[in-house]
Chains A and B, each alone.
Chain A
Amino acid sequence: MKQWVEQFNGRMDAWGRKLHEKEIRIPIDLVTGLVFALFALAILLVMPDQVAVSEKDVVNGRAFPTLLMTVMLLCCAMLIGKELYKLATKQPLNWKVINIQVEAKALVILGILLGTYFLSKWTGLFVVGAVFCCLGFLLYFRCRKKSYYVITLVIAVAIWAAFRFALGVDF
């Protein structure tokens, strides 16, 4: 078992080292401007379907979201315009470096969170998800101290018990 864990950790380290060297550079302001401009346009497009209004209303339920999306579009236009000006005048753009290893680790954490959620939901027992969450994170951190496993699991069950019996939350 110990050998298997060592092997697994060694393989993970090798992958980690490979991923650590991989980076993506994105022109962050330009991308932000484009993403949110598209988002604002999409909201404006779905607005007639999603916000019902009455003909009699002087100011209907679409007025405020429309105002917000107009402001968002203006902000996006300013961001994009600023970056395009930089491109035209050959000034350096605002770049963001995204490290693939960090993103992969974040995905693993997200996996633990989703696992906790689905286990709790499918079993209907929150405590099952809580135990999975503890084990998931302790393994993620490669914790070898048995005492940490015991402490964390006891606290997890205690939190469930506090919500279940002291606060009367039904799960």
Chain B
Amino acid sequence: MLQYIAPATGLLFTLENILWINIGVFIGSVFAAIPGLSVILCVILFLPVTYSMTAIPGMMFLLGIYCAGGYGGSVSAILINTPGTPHAAATMLDGHPLSEQGRTKAALKIALYASTFGGIFSALMLLFLGPQVARVAAQLGTAEYFMVCVFGLTIIAGVSGKSMIKGLISACLGLLISCVGSDPMTSYDRFTFGISRLYLGLDLAVCLIGLFALVEIMSKAEKRLDRLNLDTTQIKDDGVITKEEYKRMARPVLLSSIIGVMVGIIPGTGASEASWFSYNTAKNMSKHPEEFGHGSVEGIAAAESANNAVTGATLIPLLTLGIPGDGTVAIMLSALMINGLNPGLSLFTTQGNIMYAIMLGLILVNVFMLLQGKFLTTLFAKVVSIPQEILTPIIVIFCFAGAYSVNENFFDVGVALIFAMLAWILRKLELPPVPILLGLVLGSMTETNFRRALLISNGSPKIFFSSVYCIIFLVLILLAVGAIVRGKMKERSTQKED
């Protein structure tokens, strides 16, 4: 590892990278602070911008958005009692009451410090655990890799919606869409229906703009136009955090960071689960549990450190096995693959300098998030109340410009619109879109490994049950399916009782 650190540092500390980190952190904070806009939407909108970049600045930009998104959601949660992102909901429970006590700046500072600690802790875990997991991943063959893909897809399909069956249908649809274009092994065209532009396949960014961004615009039809009025005079307190409060925060921050890392490593779980789990743990372990829900500093610290501790941890299965922990990092996987960086041990050896630069960069992202949070909090707070009338057309223009810029043609914009319509229908049929995203990202890898494994075995499917790793993953898939089905049944029986 040490042999990569020095060259990686050299690659990382360039003016271009620092600039893109800061742009990413700024955009991520702004998007997450605005209720209704999500981090995944932000990453999708700006993914085409990274197409013209090399791996390090592109990933730094996206990681900046991703990490700052973890903190940005807490701004509106604290200020207007509306979480900017779903995982900031736990922060809201204590953040807003503390704000109402006239300590808005203090609440925002606690959220920022806890987020930064969680983020850096998670980045260090990635730095130390990533290469170790990659060594195990290096022992996997094509059949095992296929099982890994199935494992990732099954979990995401299982946890993404109300029904696991519908999640699987979505995943199959995503995988099928990834088949459009030339066959990865023979180059014959597939499902192109005589349209020559489809020969190169559908661009991921274009599909995602339709599936996640434009459909959100269409969903404005379902919502009322909310006016979010923010009184900016309320953030003019001194923001002092006492020594006693720092002491009280220390334990929940550390414990929640560990929980965040552990939750983040498991595919399918995410920042929301980590923040709620940590919040409850902190409450149970606190000497002042009665303060929770009434502006407890421990509550804010626990929730925020946990949701940012997820960021680096989700990259561990992504970079080592190619399993994205959630939708946002799945998009990052595609950004990596565009630059020829394929997950696995080779990423940490042959591309070691770049990989270590990205992992070290995650620490830097958190440092800049702290600096921007310290000096730009008032600005982030003001964007919370940007009216929907202004935001909506701007997002549409970004979507269209982004889709057009991929190949500089209107065909892609049309494809994005078709995907928006498809996503609207899927939403009506209650089919979750995240498994489709995962199917699109993992499609090529899944198919290639599936076919190579069958080629090795001369067409015999027994190869998928032949090695210890295959059996381990098969057992894991069955256990995951069992746990998900049991969880859903419990959820339904609780709903019926209610």
Residues in chain A within 8 A of chain B (CB atoms): 28-29, 31-32, 35-36, 43, 46, 50-54, 57-61, 63-65, 67-69, 71-72, 75-76, 78-79, 96, 98, 102-106, 108-110, 112-114, 116-117, 120-121, 126, 129-130, 133-134, 136-138, 141, 143, 145, 148, 151-152, 155-156, 159-160, 163, 167, 169-171
Contacts and interface: CB of A to CB of B under 8 A. Distances in A.
Contact of A133 (B52, B190, B393): B393
A120 to B, nearest CB: 7
B420 interface: yes
**Which 5 residue pairs are nearest across A and B when measured between Cβ atoms?**
A105-B221, A106-B221, A137-B393, A61-B183, A59-B454
Contacts of A75: 165-166, 168-169, 172
Nearest to A110: B218
Interface string B442-474: 000011001100110011000000000000000
A143 B389 contact: yes
Interface stretch (B95-103, B115-123, B399-407): B399-407
B404 A113 contact: no
Secondary structure dominating the interface of B: helix
Interface of B: 49, 52, 163, 165-166, 168-169, 172-173, 175-176, 179, 183, 185-186, 188-193, 214, 217-222, 225, 387-390, 392-394, 396-398, 400-401, 404-405, 408, 410, 413-414, 417, 420-421, 424, 428-431, 446-447, 450-451, 454-455, 458-459
Residue with the greatest number of chain B CB neighbours at <10 A, chosen from A68, A103, A134, A152: A68
Given A102-B221, A137-B389, 8 more contacts: A32-B169, A35-B429, A68-B179, A96-B430, A109-B221, A133-B396, A133-B400, A156-B393
A167 B405 contact: yes
A138 B391 CA distance: 10
Residue with the greatest number of chain B CB neighbours at <10 A, chosen from A51, A112, A148: A51
9 contacts: A51-B183, A61-B188, A65-B191, A69-B176, A106-B222, A130-B397, A138-B393, A141-B225, A167-B49
A50 B217 CA distance: 34
Nearest to A53: B188
A30 B430 CA distance: 12
A15 B431 CA distance: 30
B175 A129 contact: no
B179 A65 contact: yes
Contacts of B190: 50-51, 61, 65
Given A64-B451, A79-B166, A141 B189 contact: no
Contacts of B450: 63-64, 67
Nearest to B414: A117
B396 A113 contact: yes
A169 B405 contact: yes
Contact of B188 (A52, A96, A133): A52
A68 B168 CA distance: 10
Contacts of A169: 401, 404-405, 408
Residue with the greatest number of chain A CB neighbours at <10 A, chosen from B225, B389, B417, B429: B389
B467 to A, nearest CB: 19
B401 A126 contact: yes
A117 B454 contact: no
Contact of A160 (B387, B401, B428, B430): B401
Contacts of B225: 141
Contact of A126 (B392, B393, B400): B400
B413 A134 contact: no
Contacts of A67: 450
A76 B168 CA distance: 10
Contact of B388 (A36, A104, A141): A141
Nearest to B189: A52
A58 B405 contact: no
Contacts of B431: 32
A76 to B, nearest CB: 7
B417 A113 contact: yes
Contact of B455 (A58, A145, A160): A58
Nearest to B184: A61
A43 B414 CA distance: 22
A36 B172 CA distance: 11
A36 B169 contact: yes
Given A54-B186, A169-B408, A163 B401 contact: yes
A29 B164 CA distance: 12
Contacts of A53: 186, 188
